[in-house]
Amino acid sequence: MPIEIYLNVAASGLLTGLVYGLMALGLSVIFGVVRVVNFAHGEMMTLAMYVTLVLFSALKLDPLVLLVPIAAVLFVFGYLLQAGLINPFINRPEHSQFMLLVAIALILVNAQLIVFGPDAQGIRTSYSFDSFQAGPLIVDASKVYAALAALVVAAALFAFFRFSLLGKSIRACADNYHGALVVGLNVKHLYALTFGIGAACVGAAGAMLMAVTDVTPTIGPAYTLLAFVIVITGGLGSMAGALLGGLLIGLTEALGGVLFTPSAKSMFAFGLLVLVLLFRPQGILGRKVAG
C-alpha cells in the first residue's frame, strides 16, 4: 500500500483521538477531584449521542451548535448524579463506589436500549461528505471540525481550572479534602460541580462524535473502556495526559485497523493499556501518587 494511505489513516485517527481525548478528559477530571472512577462514562457518552440525535432531528441544528446545550444537559445530569447518589459514597470503600457506578451504568445502557432500540443510528450533516485536501492528505471535514471543537473545549477547561476562583477551589478539594473543608469550602457542592463538568465534557464529545460515527446503546461499555484506556495511558488525573492518551489511542486504533483487520483494532488499545499498567502504572504524564 502506498504511504499516503497510512498518512491519511493516521491523520484521521489523530483527529478522532482528540474527540476521544475530550471524553477521557471528563473521566480524568472526575477522578482527579472526586477520586471516584466513573464506570458509567461511556454510557453517559451514548446518552449525549442520543440527545444529539433527538435534538438534531427535531431542530435540524448542526451538532457543533448543539454541543453547547448538550454539554449543559449533561452538566445538570452529572451534578444531580453526584449530589444525589455518589456524594453519600465518598467515604465508602473503593469497590463499593465502583459497584455503585456499575449499577448506574447498567441502568443507563439498558434504559437507552429500551427507549431507542438496538439498531445503529446516525445523522447526516450538510458537510458529511466534504473533505479537506492538504498535499497528499485528504481528511473528512466533520472530523476536522470535531477535533477543533474538542481543542477549544479542552482549552476553555484548562483556563477555567487555572485562572477562575471556582476552578481553583475545585483544585483545592482535589489536593486536600480535609484542608478544603477547614477553609470553609462546600466540598460536596464542588464535587457535584466537578462531576457536572466532567459530564459536560462527555456531552460535548458525544455531540461531536455523532457527526463522525453512529450510535447504538450497547457501544456504551466499549466507550467506558476506551476512556479508561486513554486516561490510564495518559495518566489518571492529568488533563494534558488525557488528550495525549486520546491522540495515542486514536492513532493506535487507526493504524491497527489498517495493518491488521478493523475488527481487531481495539486489541491494540488494550495491548497498550497492559504495557502502560505494567511498566508505567501512573501513566505517561501522571505523577506518582504516594499511598
| Positions that interact with another protein (CB under 8 A) | 37, 85, 88, 92, 94-96, 98-100, 102-107, 109-111, 113-114, 118, 217, 221, 225, 228-229, 232, 261, 263-264, 266-267, 270-271, 273-274, 277-279, 281
As a whole number of angstroms, the distance between CA 249 and CA 241 comes to 12
As a whole number of angstroms, the distance between CA 168 and CA 173 comes to 9
Least distance CB 201 / another protein (angstroms):
20
Least distance CB 274 / another protein (angstroms):
6
Is 238 or 266 the residue whose CB approaches another protein more closely? 266
Least distance CB 245 / another protein (angstroms):
14
Is 27 or 190 the residue whose CB approaches another protein more closely? 27
Is 126 or 263 the residue whose CB approaches another protein more closely? 263
Is 63 or 283 the residue whose CB approaches another protein more closely? 283
Amino acid at 73: V
Question: Which residues are 132's β-sheet partners?
Answer: 139
Is 171 or 280 the residue whose CB approaches another protein more closely? 280
For the record, the C-alpha cell of 119 comes out as 439498531
Whether 242 and 230 have beta carbons less than 8 Å apart is answered as yes
Quickly count: other Cβ atoms within 10 Å of residue 15's Cβ.
23
Least distance CB 105 / another protein (angstroms):
8
Least distance CB 41 / another protein (angstroms):
12
Is 145 or 191 the residue whose CB approaches another protein more closely? 191
Least distance CB 153 / another protein (angstroms):
25
Is 109 or 201 the residue whose CB approaches another protein more closely? 109
Whether 137 and 15 have beta carbons less than 8 Å apart is answered as no
Q: Where are the beta strands (DSSP E) in 73-212?
A: 131-134, 137-140
Least distance CB 156 / another protein (angstroms):
28
Among the listed residues 18, 68, 15, 77, the one whose alpha carbon sits nearest the alpha carbon of residue 46:
77
Residues contacting residue 102 through CB under 8 Å, at least 6 positions apart? 39, 40
Least distance CB 46 / another protein (angstroms):
13
Among the listed residues 217, 207, 216, 203, the one whose alpha carbon sits nearest the alpha carbon of residue 111:
217
- Radius of gyration of the chain from its Cα atoms, rounded to whole angstroms: 19
Report strand pairing: 137-140 vs 131-134.
antiparallel
Quickly count: other Cβ atoms within 10 Å of residue 99's Cβ.
14
As a whole number of angstroms, the distance between CA 97 and CA 103 comes to 10
Is 38 or 169 the residue whose CB approaches another protein more closely? 38
